[in-house]
A and B are shown apart, each in its own frame.
Chain A
């Protein structure tokens, strides 16, 4: 499954991580933007309206967890998932992240395939969720059309 037409933003202050995220996600067809600071990340989310955000917790200007609720609010319309990336392994940190609204928690270091799998599953969940919300409001005719669309998407 490709990430075509998906827009992903990563907020991480480590240059090399942004580099390999960019290369791999772009290779899979996604549009990628990276930010090294919390402020830059928020600005990107406001202007670009991404489908998914990858967030590091230790940022130079702010704690990642502090901006997490704001990011979730910004992406509420799109049910935008946020994946937390961090070196902190402690359960406390996991709990805090999920409380703040993180959709997934991945500890560094990680293999890119793991992250891509999580990105796929989160995006699929979002799509199903959005469809469910829309379907409830749709007329039967539109519904049938949507189902047809879904089938073609799944073939990708």
Chain B
């Protein structure tokens, strides 16, 4: 980063150079945030250069297009220029806006390949050019890691005192071996001499290098050389390198030991890398498996937090932004976790600037936790935090793994919320459909009786005086009948609403069945005119513990249905029985066509009738649904079936009944009779 010269013109523009990187959205977000902070405008610039051969143009193009669309959606200005090379493009843009640009944001990527670190990447060239004009901020797109290499392996950080002790022990063992062999073996057999002493010590060096790494191996080889020179070469008990042979011996031994140490340590490194790769693959795979079948983000994060802790052997925390203030971020899982002040600061930086912060990273490195932002195609999701346990070293490998885990988690969470929002949309669409169907059904069912009322009254108005008295009465009767029907629809709808909202309270009291039947048949007098109502009762009269108003409504609905759905002139049977075990049972049998087999099960469904194109028989279709709710709420049951005599039979049962005082036979009360 470098700062540009200060000019007199107000600097009100922030420019970011976008590229086809999958995470280019991060640049846009940072640009928008910086623009908000400074009250400036921001612009996303794409400099198109002639493409090198053999690139996947389509994929690149699509990614770019997506980034540009995102920039527009986020309120940025999008500029696309063509240029021979990237430097000229950057120069052109910054020249044009001479002095207005207050900040340039450039994304950096990690160099790939063995000599990547020495390559002059486009972003580096861009930074160099842009820094001549103004302030530049570099945002690493691939996470921030120290790059390991030969130098890291050599660096003192990996040589610990304990390794030197191991090297000394190994060399001492070789020395002891040589000493014993030289003393105890008869001189005629085999002697430790200049030719084989080196090999004996080489074993120790190779062991140390293989076990503890290159640096301890080198330490061991130096100690070995000194030991050989001191004890086993002439002059004994003195370190003396005074002729060419000694010098050559020393050179040969040291280079051999060095090579062996180098190769064995390399093998060790490869083995270690393979093991780490295995852990990474395993971690990412497990992560997907654990999280993808969760049904909510929260559940996925909760599961992941536990799983990752077990798998990586570190403390893991997921932090999510606040619902109201999305700039504020705090740990959510595990619950009850509190960060220290410095950790909080690092977390905030990580979230606001979308970069790796905390322990062993270039930003806020002194904290206990390491923070990695989780960003998906759809946007920033949150932050994943880890804290090593014990003396674990957060190396490059772990840094990369963490970035990969954060990316993967973001993708999985995206996936889950997408699925959930699709599900939500589906449910609300379904609900909306049902609602409009109910509404149209209700309005249809209101209009049919209204048509009867308005028609009859309009005839009365225009022809009233010319009509004989009997006809006039007939008209009024028709209007009243329809008005009553309308009233019962409204009652049903209100009942359903009240039942659904739980606002209805059942008042159970002992009531006479006979009285209930009398009330209902009186109310349905007109409707029952065209049918023959036959009442059969096993007991002369009984009393049932029920909410009489609601239960009367049930009986009325059942009888009303029987009238509606069966041809005029057929018989409707109303049967009562009472059993000690079963309870009070009421049955309404009609002699119509019966219920279609597929409708029997859904007869009590609130929307059972809604799926018809047009309700052929007037009624809200709620009657049976209400009946079921009412009977269920009183601890009874209600069923629909077809009987062998042809026709439907609806049966309901209420558990509590008792015999009433002897009264006249219930059959005397056939209010409906034959029309």
A: residues with CB less than 8 A from B are 13-17, 19-21, 23-24, 27, 36, 57-60, 63, 87-88, 108-113
- Which among A14, A57, A60, A111 has the highest number of chain B CB atoms within 10 Å? A14
10 smallest beta-carbon distances between A and B, as pairs: A16-B452, A108-B451, A109-B451, A16-B478, A111-B458, A109-B454, A20-B456, A87-B447, A24-B459, A112-B458
Given contacts A23-B467, A27-B471, A108-B448, A60 and B616 within 8 Å (CB-CB): yes
- CB of B481 within 8 Å of the partner chain: yes
- Which among A16, A108, A112, A113 has the highest number of chain B CB atoms within 10 Å? A16
Cα separation A21 to B478 with both chains bound (whole Å): 11
Cα separation A17 to B479 with both chains bound (whole Å): 9
Q: B615 to A16, Cβ gap below 8 A? A: no
Q: Which residues of B contact A27 (CB under 8 A)?
A: 463, 466-467, 471
Cα separation A36 to B630 with both chains bound (whole Å): 33
- CB of B482 within 8 Å of the partner chain: yes
CB < 8 Å A-B pair total: 87
Q: B478 to A20, Cβ gap below 8 A? A: yes
Q: A87 to B458, Cβ gap below 8 A? A: no
**How far in angstroms is the closest Cβ of chain A from B86?**
61
Cα separation A13 to B474 with both chains bound (whole Å): 18
Cα separation A36 to B482 with both chains bound (whole Å): 16
One of B447, B454, B615 near A111 (C-beta < 8 A): B454
Given contacts A14-B452, A16-B482, A112-B458, A59 and B616 within 8 Å (CB-CB): yes
Cα separation A111 to B451 with both chains bound (whole Å): 8
Q: Which residues of B contact A20 (CB under 8 A)?
A: 452, 455-456, 458-459, 475, 478
Cα separation A60 to B482 with both chains bound (whole Å): 18
Cα separation A58 to B616 with both chains bound (whole Å): 5
Cα separation A60 to B593 with both chains bound (whole Å): 12
- CB proximity to A under 8 Å, residues B585-639: 613-618
Chain B window 561-593, contacts with chain A (Cβ cutoff 8 Å), 1 for yes, 0 for no: 000000010000000000000000000000000
- CB of B444 within 8 Å of the partner chain: yes
Cα separation A24 to B456 with both chains bound (whole Å): 9
- CB of B453 within 8 Å of the partner chain: yes
B: residues with CB less than 8 A from A are 443-444, 447-456, 458-459, 462-463, 466-467, 471, 474-475, 478-479, 481-482, 568, 613-618
- Which among B451, B454, B467, B478 has the highest number of chain A CB atoms within 10 Å? B451
From A19, which residue of chain B is reached at the shortest CB distance?
B478
Other than the given A60-B616, A108-B447, 7 more pairs (CB < 8 A) read: A14-B449, A17-B451, A27-B467, A63-B614, A108-B450, A110-B455, A111-B455
Q: Which residues of A contact B462 (CB under 8 A)?
A: 24, 112-113
Cα separation A16 to B450 with both chains bound (whole Å): 10
**How far in angstroms is the closest Cβ of chain B from A59?**
7
Cα separation A21 to B471 with both chains bound (whole Å): 12
Cα separation A12 to B592 with both chains bound (whole Å): 19
One of A24, A36, A59, A110 near B451 (C-beta < 8 A): A110
Given contacts A20-B455, A113-B458, A13 and B463 within 8 Å (CB-CB): no
**How far in angstroms is the closest Cβ of chain A from B485?**
9
- Which among A14, A15, A20, A60 has the highest number of chain B CB atoms within 10 Å? A20
Q: A16 to B479, Cβ gap below 8 A? A: yes
Given contacts A16-B479, A16-B482, A58 and B451 within 8 Å (CB-CB): no
Q: Which residues of B contact A15 (CB under 8 A)?
A: 452, 478, 481
Listed by A's residue number, 25 A-B pairs whose Cβ atoms lie within 8 Å are A15-B452, A15-B478, A16-B452, A16-B478, A16-B481, A19-B475, A20-B458, A21-B455, A23-B459, A23-B463, A23-B475, A58-B614, A58-B615, A60-B617, A63-B614, A87-B444, A87-B448, A88-B614, A108-B447, A109-B450, A109-B451, A109-B452, A109-B453, A110-B455, A111-B455
**How far in angstroms is the closest Cβ of chain B from A84?**
13
Q: Which residues of A contact B618 (CB under 8 A)?
A: 14
Q: Which residues of A contact B450 (CB under 8 A)?
A: 108-109
**How far in angstroms is the closest Cβ of chain A from B472?**
9
One of B448, B453, B474, B568 near A23 (C-beta < 8 A): B474
**How far in angstroms is the closest Cβ of chain A from B584?**
33
Cα separation A14 to B447 with both chains bound (whole Å): 11
Q: Which residues of B contact A58 (CB under 8 A)?
A: 614-616
Cα separation A57 to B482 with both chains bound (whole Å): 19
Cα separation A108 to B618 with both chains bound (whole Å): 13
